[in-house]
């Protein structure tokens, strides 16, 4: 495993007021190292059937992850839809491209 890719983990805190209205707070971002792989063909097919659009799997130290919902990689944003523990110290973040999280130009 090669943890040489730089990714940014982005948290968008949400709070609910007394009237039940949700408010999105200011984003916070942290840069960490990860191994990056494309989603497998099987995962892509399974995800597509379930309304997902899997793109990348980011493997990183679990201590670097604090339940962020967005990963930014090479100028594009991806939503985390699944997290797996891999051994004692590693996790995998399975991500997809989806409306509302994308920045940058082009297709990925």
Domains and CATH numbers, the chain: 5-96 (2.40.10)
Average of pLDDT values for 15-24? 86
pTM reported for the whole predicted model: 0.77
Task: Find how far residue 49's CA is from the centre of its chain.
Answer: 20
Say yes or no to pLDDT of 89 above 70.
Answer: yes
Would you say residue 32 has pLDDT above 90? yes
pLDDT band at 58 (very low <50, low <70, confident <90, very high): very high
User: Which residue is listed with tokens 């989603």?
Assistant: 39
First to last CA, the chain: 23
Going 47 to 50 to 52 to 58, the CA torsion angle's sign is negative
Give the percent of the chain with pLDDT over 70. 77
């Amino acid at each position: 495993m090669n943890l040489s890719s730089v990714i940014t983990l982005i948290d968008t805190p949400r709070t609910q007021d007394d009237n039940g209205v949700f408010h999105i707070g200011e984003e916070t971002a942290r840069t960490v190292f990860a191994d990056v792989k494309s989603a497998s063909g099987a995962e892509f097919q399974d995800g597509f059937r379930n309304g997902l659009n899997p793109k990348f799997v980011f493997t990183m130290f679990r201590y670097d992850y604090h339940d962020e919902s967005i990963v930014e990689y090479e100028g594009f944003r991806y939503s985390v839809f699944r997290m797996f523990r891999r051994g004692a110290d590693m996790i995998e973040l399975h991500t997809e491209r989806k409306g509302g999280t994308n920045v940058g130009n082009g297709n990925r």
